[in-house]
Structure 1
């Protein structure tokens, strides 16, 4: 089976969630099948595995509508896209499209890196569910990254196609904790600063955590940083890193008391499982997706209650409680792997090929 995987949403400087998801899947599937990846910028190759590739147009171009004509010439059996917007008019191959989450139906602010015309269309697209149905029903099989999102898709009747989970997974951890040592009183947040991420409640919870430092690791705009700085309680220690490298992130994880996130909406929440794989406890919002991903290993709190967040962190000040959370987290993370995800993708691809041939 010849599989073409769309890697055109790979970033050129650093991975975001979808970029890392696609690159990791390509690396895992390439060891099991005949894989070619589709790119739109040769700079993307720096963040992609050494796999045969074909250069195509940008997925944000109006010419995307006619992309299937170009792909037909490559004669793949199956095409897998980590997004749902891939052009498919006139395709002669089986197609698996991916929907990661439904976050933007309730939180319609689009990603800032998108061009202005695309951001306008993004908002219009998420005013109702019918455009999503049109896109997803063009596929033979629809993939998503969690059972939580699959359940939401079924609730809103987003597609008539089979929905299959092709899960996310942590990278191999490079974190090495000193044996028997106490963690630093540091808390890590890795994620964007969009309103639904609810960083405000984490900052508010720092009022009761003297002696702890909250590290906000991701890149942040000057305007958003100024908004958040106004919320820092007097005497609280909050550090804006405005982006960290993988090595810097690993070094911080190796010393931290916990990774924290009180996000109200996620498709998966990759930093949660990455922290667990590193043996770093997680304090997260008590929401369906974090219950699914973190299981009983994550310490879940009301995302609207700063005092509950504060109490959870204080509880980790007990060495036995911290050690138990770290051990349970490692065990939970072991259930997720890119090899497992690759097998899920291949199962979805085989099903898509069968359904395509039957039509």
Structure 2
């Protein structure tokens, strides 16, 4: 290990909190083969990460040269035109087949570097990458719920990720994670060397996610049939989002006379049927499933909500918490995994398994104006720590460092 990167007591490099170190050597802008599959084919968190990261990287004063590649498959309706216009190397395989091929390459040791664009470095933005021979790589790992909360994944997903992620991380020069919590879990559960991990938090778009009302806010809510006052949950409907306990806590508040509605905004993920079954038993119209929300409408839903409630069991980062705080919306979230890193003291945090505590926190933000006023004021200030520009700067620094490691 380079003596200039002497680890701290916990084994992690002593980086500035939430930021990757700048490169130890200055190199020319690197040519980076970057996986944009999620940005083209998906619509949830990984898609947002890929789209925003690439947009911010290209806006840097000295941007890397990006050489996108992607799996085959249908293009998501919200894929921005500028991303489609970048040009990319399209692989012959769809996502599931590419995952299988990459894992086979990792296990057998057969390199598949020639399938990807020629570059100084490969960035696997979704942790999926084959053996690359001697070519350097950087891997992004958003979370390790496939180990920490296996019940939140399908059997096939668990099988693949448990075998792919540790192997890909061991062979990567550096590993990007969005939070300290994810870094610690990755080291503890998957045996990844802490000295090669760099914490580069996700960000938010400061031009869009703001407390200032937008002229189309009312129209955005009308598109989903949302009427104030309401509590908002935003995220994929899947087991780790802890929605059954959220519904239990909301039922407690309704028994106390709460007149707010609960809006569940987000697409269907895996294991969503118990949530739909619970909603089917409700008859008073107090819970609205809004479905997937267009990216352009997100700020309006945050701004008009009385509070965001996000009681997730585990997150690698927690983008809705950050975006809601940026909009000046009070937030109730979990005190586990990365969520306290994002929220700081600008949100109310509770144990996600404690339904009465969750109900009490929700009640506090709705009935105690002092609490609500404090959160509305502190949220935007806290959010300013995390922007996509900073994410891009940290990622570019990791690129340079990864390349420089091969020249020492």
Instruction: Please give the alpha-carbon distance, in whole angstroms, between the structure 2 residues aligned to 1:318 and 1:132.
Output: 45
2:114 match: 69
Instruction: Please give the alpha-carbon distance, in whole angstroms, between the structure 1 residues aligned to 2:143 and 2:376.
Output: 28
What are the Cα deviations for residues 261-291 of structure 1, in whole angstroms up to 9, with x where unaligned?
A: 1111111111000111111111011214111
Alpha carbons of structure 1 residues 57 and 158: separation in structure 2 relative to 1, 3 Å: farther
Q: Secondary structure at the match of 2:359?
A: helix
Unpaired segments ≥5 residues, structure 1:
112-118
Instruction: Please give the alpha-carbon distance, in whole angstroms, between the structure 1 residues aligned to 2:140 and 2:31.
Output: 19
Mapping of residues 1-359 of structure 1, within 5 Å: 1-12=30-41, 15-31=43-59, 32-41=63-72, 43=75, 46-47=79-80, 49=83, 50-58=85-93, 59-61=95-97, 62-64=100-102, 65=105, 67-71=112-116, 74-90=117-133, 92-109=134-151, 120-125=155-160, 132-156=165-189, 158-160=191-193, 162-172=196-206, 173-174=208-209, 177=212, 184-207=228-251, 208-209=253-254, 210-220=258-268, 223-229=273-279, 237-316=286-365, 317-358=367-408
Q: Using the TM superposition, give the Cα deviation of residue 16 of structure 1 relative to its aligned residue in structure 2, in angstroms.
A: 1.0
Alpha carbons of structure 1 residues 334 and 174: separation in structure 2 relative to 1, 3 Å: closer
Instruction: Please give the alpha-carbon distance, in whole angstroms, between the structure 1 residues aligned to 2:277 and 2:45.
Output: 25
1:115 match: none
Instruction: Please give the alpha-carbon distance, in whole angstroms, between the structure 2 residues aligned to 1:107 and 1:230.
Output: 26
The answer to whether the 8 A contact 1:200-1:231 is kept is no
Instruction: Please give the alpha-carbon distance, in whole angstroms, between the structure 2 residues aligned to 1:190 and 1:67.
Output: 38
Alpha carbons of structure 1 residues 67 and 166: separation in structure 2 relative to 1, 3 Å: farther
Which has the higher mean CA deviation after the structures are superposed, 50-59 or 208-217?
50-59
Alpha carbons of structure 1 residues 329 and 102: separation in structure 2 relative to 1, 3 Å: same
Q: Using the TM superposition, give the Cα deviation of residue 310 of structure 1 relative to its aligned residue in structure 2, in angstroms.
A: 2.3
The answer to whether the 8 A contact 1:141-1:164 is kept is yes
What are the Cα deviations for residues 317-345 of structure 1, in whole angstroms up to 9, with x where unaligned?
A: 33332121011010011000111111111
Instruction: Please give the alpha-carbon distance, in whole angstroms, between the structure 1 residues aligned to 2:190 and 2:213.
Output: 49
Alpha carbons of structure 1 residues 230 and 106: separation in structure 2 relative to 1, 3 Å: farther
Instruction: Please give the alpha-carbon distance, in whole angstroms, between the structure 2 residues aligned to 1:148 and 1:347.
Output: 21
Instruction: Please give the alpha-carbon distance, in whole angstroms, between the structure 1 residues aligned to 2:150 and 2:234.
Output: 21
Alpha carbons of structure 1 residues 202 and 121: separation in structure 2 relative to 1, 3 Å: closer
What are the Cα deviations for residues 189-211 of structure 1, in whole angstroms up to 9, with x where unaligned?
A: 01122222111121111222421
Instruction: Please give the alpha-carbon distance, in whole angstroms, between the structure 1 residues aligned to 2:406 and 2:141.
Output: 20
The structure showing larger relative contact order (alpha-carbon pairs under 8 Å, at least 6 residues apart) is 2
Alpha carbons of structure 1 residues 231 and 103: separation in structure 2 relative to 1, 3 Å: farther
Instruction: Please give the alpha-carbon distance, in whole angstroms, between the structure 2 residues aligned to 1:230 and 1:60.
Output: 32
Alpha carbons of structure 1 residues 231 and 214: separation in structure 2 relative to 1, 3 Å: same
Q: Secondary structure at the match of 1:229?
A: helix
Unpaired segments ≥5 residues, structure 2:
1-29, 106-110, 215-226
**TM, length-normalised to structure 1:** 0.85
Q: Using the TM superposition, give the Cα deviation of residue 187 of structure 1 relative to its aligned residue in structure 2, in angstroms.
A: 0.6
Root-mean-square deviation over aligned CA pairs: 2.8
Q: Using the TM superposition, give the Cα deviation of residue 55 of structure 1 relative to its aligned residue in structure 2, in angstroms.
A: 2.0
Instruction: Please give the alpha-carbon distance, in whole angstroms, between the structure 2 residues aligned to 1:206 and 1:121.
Output: 33
Aligned length: 341
Instruction: Please give the alpha-carbon distance, in whole angstroms, between the structure 1 residues aligned to 2:212 and 2:364.
Output: 20
What are the Cα deviations for residues 6-65 of structure 1, in whole angstroms up to 9, with x where unaligned?
A: 1122243x6211111011111111232222211234836933634342222334324444
